[in-house]
Structure 1
Amino acid sequence: MQHILGVDIGGTFTDFSLLDGAGNISLWKEATTPNNPAEAVQEGIKALAEQTGLGLENFLEGLDLFVHGQTIATNTVIQRNGPKTALLCTEGFRDVIHFRDGFKPERYNIQLQPPEDFVPRYLRIPITERVKYDGTVVKPLDETTVRAASKQLKAENVQSVAVAFLWSIINPAHEQRVKAILEEELPGIPVVLSSDVLPMIREWERTTCTTLSAYVLPGIARYMVELENFLHENAFKHPLLIMQLNGGCSTVNKVLQRPINSLASGPAAAPVAGLHCSERIGMPDVITIDMGGTSFDVSMVSDGSPTLTRELRVHDMPVGVAAVDVHSIGAGGGSIAWIDKG
């Protein structure tokens, strides 16, 4: 009989739900520890182990499945508290993420200020190279510009790098060579390629997706690796599974290869749970509500399937990949409300 543990790190609380082989559910709650999210998870696991009377190692050894969702990546983007990130791009295209898709969200608002770029212009570095739409190399990669860029990144203490070249989705050789050079010149600094995270047409979305991936990667990698090491050091025998924004699960290594999938992973769990409930009660159309301490999330299960979208935006930045369509407002259980006079 399976023992299953689900853990969700929210903005306010880290919640635990344990389903044992007899069908009993045990719940636990810890205050989220933003500086080290793994800490709250570890403390909650220890508390559950004590509650069951098994001890930590026996408790983890008896687990068959550990699924983890979180809002850390999303909050990193919203709060803009990620690491210093750089973007290497094809020469002449350094302003793709600044010009966006060319449309104003409020077309007739002349006072509307554009959102601040996640990568400032001085860290958007053009690289001499060019590939045509059919993958033909028009201009070979100039490796001297890459090595010069690496020196600039080192001087600026950059902590993560995104690489997005034109038509790398057809011929990724230049991006792959740049990654090899950067790993040689900047050991320990993560490098994210657009041809890996979103190999599809739409230059702005692909560049933005790559930039966001690089922006959230160091933060989630640090705590996910620490958490998985803690589990395996204490007799857990299976891979830690991470919820993804499309409602599925993946291993830590796979998520770190495509960090964009970690955005909104926690909120995606509620529609999946709603799907399970709708199947049990024979109702294919349901509305799901997930209220935490920080936000209030609403989604739908329509005709027996969670509603998916490729138009998901986080802090007005397109994610680009398929995601469960969750709508959130900042009105959770910890929000302060008041009644207007009159």
Structure 2
Amino acid sequence: MLIGIDVGGTTTDAVLVDGSRVEKTAYVPTDHNDLLGCLLNALDELVRGLDVSKIERVVLSTTLITNMIAEKKTDPVTLVLIPGPGTNPRDYNLGQSIILDGAIDFRGKEIDRLNESQIKEAAARIKESGVLRVAVVGKFSQRNPAHEEKVSQIMSQILPGSKIELGHRVSGHLNFPRRAATTKLTLATKESYARFALAISRALEERRITAPVYILKADGGTLPLEGSLQMPVETIFSGPAASIMGVMALTPPGQTSVVVDIGGTTTDLALILSGSPLLSSKGARVDSMLTHVRAFAVRSVAIGGDSAVDVAEDCL
């Protein structure tokens, strides 16, 4: 038996599947201040009277990360950039950042050394600000991470107890501003997501559910709950991804389909072309930032079943 739970803007929907049969469904109102409670209420509705040892897998779709970003409730992060020549990070839509000297070229060769005194001054500024989550991202760090690692080493000594995330560990793809945005969002959401995942694990343990738990990603794939702790931002847009995967399961192979998912809060549109869903060419746009998060190409319109619509007579 499989369990799937999707947290939508208005309701949290859950289903119990045995083979190809839907055995049971549950719908509970979504409380955006208590997403975990919504998930567990839906789960309890499904497993009431069930031998939970028969459950083989639990798959969750959660709006936790999407909501945190949209509502500006992510943890504050200090972004430290090593851009090298030819770029102006102030043109990127990444918020305030600290810029360090030093450069690695596209071959991974150091062409400009780091300035250690500058790094120490930056660490002192960070300590004074009190924002001890630090994302360090260098251009071409995926080719040679030496500068990121050196900055992390120096800052760790000056900022005990700080949490430092390095860009080359988050993404190995080219495109410096996307890697910087992805690193910043990863660090900004990691602690809240970890608390959510821990609560999920404990709740399932209390219910004696030992089946593996997976989180749906923005590209329709899944991550084990434990694996998602390192890259929580991969779980954005998992709701639209669930709709696309559902349409693919219900249509003949190779069919071209337009997916229109009218939810309570938004209407999400996507295209399946000859049986293959379109992907964002370089990565998802999260809020106003471009990222390296692999995702389906989805257009989300802020109108849904709960929206109030007025018709102006002179527009008819």
CA RMSD between the two structures: 2.7
Structure 1 position 78 matched with structure 2 position 70: yes
- Counterpart residue number, 1:223: 196
Whole-Å Cα distance in 2 between the matches of residues 234 and 96 of structure 1? 53
- Counterpart residue number, 2:22: 24
- Counterpart residue number, 1:336: 308
2:135 to 151, 162, 176: 162
**Contact map agreement 1:68 1:242 (CA 8 A) in 2:** yes
> What pairs with 1:292-307 in structure 2 (closer than 5 Å)?
292-307=263-278
- Counterpart residue number, 1:43: 41
How many residues end up aligned between the 2 structures? Answer: 311
Whole-Å Cα distance in 2 between the matches of residues 183 and 40 of structure 1? 39
- The structure-2 alpha-carbon separation of the partners of 1:79 and 1:136, relative to structure 1 and needing over 3 Å to count, comes to same
List gaps (5 residues or longer) in structure 1: 101-116
Runs of 4+ in 1 over 6 A off after TM superposition: none
Whole-Å Cα distance in 2 between the matches of residues 163 and 27 of structure 1? 45
Query: How does the TM-score come out when normalised to structure 1?
Result: 0.80
Q: 1:324: how far off?
A: 0.9
Amino acid across the alignment from 1:272? M
> What pairs with 1:19-168 in structure 2 (closer than 5 Å)?
19-21=17-19, 23-50=21-48, 53-54=49-50, 58-59=51-52, 61-90=53-82, 96-100=88-92, 117-119=93-95, 121=96, 124-141=97-114, 145-146=118-119, 148-158=121-131, 160-168=133-141
Structure 1 position 315 matched with structure 2 position 313: no
Whole-Å Cα distance in 2 between the matches of residues 244 and 204 of structure 1? 22
Q: 1:22: how far off?
A: 7.4
- The structure-2 alpha-carbon separation of the partners of 1:239 and 1:179, relative to structure 1 and needing over 3 Å to count, comes to farther
Amino acid across the alignment from 2:289? M
Q: 1:118: how far off?
A: 4.8
1:325 to 294, 297, 300: 297
> What pairs with 1:201-280 in structure 2 (closer than 5 Å)?
201-279=174-252
Whole-Å Cα distance in 1 between the matches of residues 310 and 2 of structure 2? 41
**Contact map agreement 2:84 2:102 (CA 8 A) in 1:** no
**Contact map agreement 1:85 1:214 (CA 8 A) in 2:** yes
- The structure-2 alpha-carbon separation of the partners of 1:26 and 1:319, relative to structure 1 and needing over 3 Å to count, comes to same
Q: 1:147: how far off?
A: 5.1
Helix, strand or coil at the partner of 1:323: coil
- The structure-2 alpha-carbon separation of the partners of 1:32 and 1:177, relative to structure 1 and needing over 3 Å to count, comes to farther
- The structure-2 alpha-carbon separation of the partners of 1:180 and 1:240, relative to structure 1 and needing over 3 Å to count, comes to farther
**Contact map agreement 2:190 2:230 (CA 8 A) in 1:** no
- The structure-2 alpha-carbon separation of the partners of 1:233 and 1:131, relative to structure 1 and needing over 3 Å to count, comes to farther
Instruction: Judge which range, 9-18 or 241-250, deviates more.
Output: 9-18
Whole-Å Cα distance in 2 between the matches of residues 153 and 226 of structure 1? 31
Amino acid across the alignment from 2:176? E
Q: 1:294: how far off?
A: 0.9
- The structure-2 alpha-carbon separation of the partners of 1:143 and 1:241, relative to structure 1 and needing over 3 Å to count, comes to farther
- The structure-2 alpha-carbon separation of the partners of 1:8 and 1:307, relative to structure 1 and needing over 3 Å to count, comes to same
Whole-Å Cα distance in 1 between the matches of residues 120 and 211 of structure 2? 41
- The structure-2 alpha-carbon separation of the partners of 1:92 and 1:283, relative to structure 1 and needing over 3 Å to count, comes to closer
- The structure-2 alpha-carbon separation of the partners of 1:181 and 1:70, relative to structure 1 and needing over 3 Å to count, comes to farther
- The structure-2 alpha-carbon separation of the partners of 1:272 and 1:90, relative to structure 1 and needing over 3 Å to count, comes to same
**Contact map agreement 1:284 1:302 (CA 8 A) in 2:** yes
Helix, strand or coil at the partner of 2:21: coil
Whole-Å Cα distance in 2 between the matches of residues 283 and 49 of structure 1? 36
Instruction: Judge which range, 301-310 or 206-215, deviates more.
Output: 206-215
**Contact map agreement 2:94 2:181 (CA 8 A) in 1:** no
Helix, strand or coil at the partner of 1:133: coil
List gaps (5 residues or longer) in structure 2: none
Whole-Å Cα distance in 2 between the matches of residues 252 and 153 of structure 1? 32
Alignment deviations for residues 284-335 of structure 1 (CA, whole Å, 9 cap, x no partner): 1122222221111111221111111225323332123431111110111111
**Contact map agreement 2:178 2:292 (CA 8 A) in 1:** yes
Q: 1:264: how far off?
A: 0.9
Alignment deviations for residues 156-212 of structure 1 (CA, whole Å, 9 cap, x no partner): 33263322112101001332344456566343x543322122222222222222223
Whole-Å Cα distance in 2 between the matches of residues 128 and 18 of structure 1? 55
Whole-Å Cα distance in 2 between the matches of residues 82 and 10 of structure 1? 20
Alignment deviations for residues 58-106 of structure 1 (CA, whole Å, 9 cap, x no partner): 43x331111111222223223322221210111778x955413xxxxxx
Whole-Å Cα distance in 1 between the matches of residues 106 and 20 of structure 2? 58
Q: 1:5: how far off?
A: 0.8
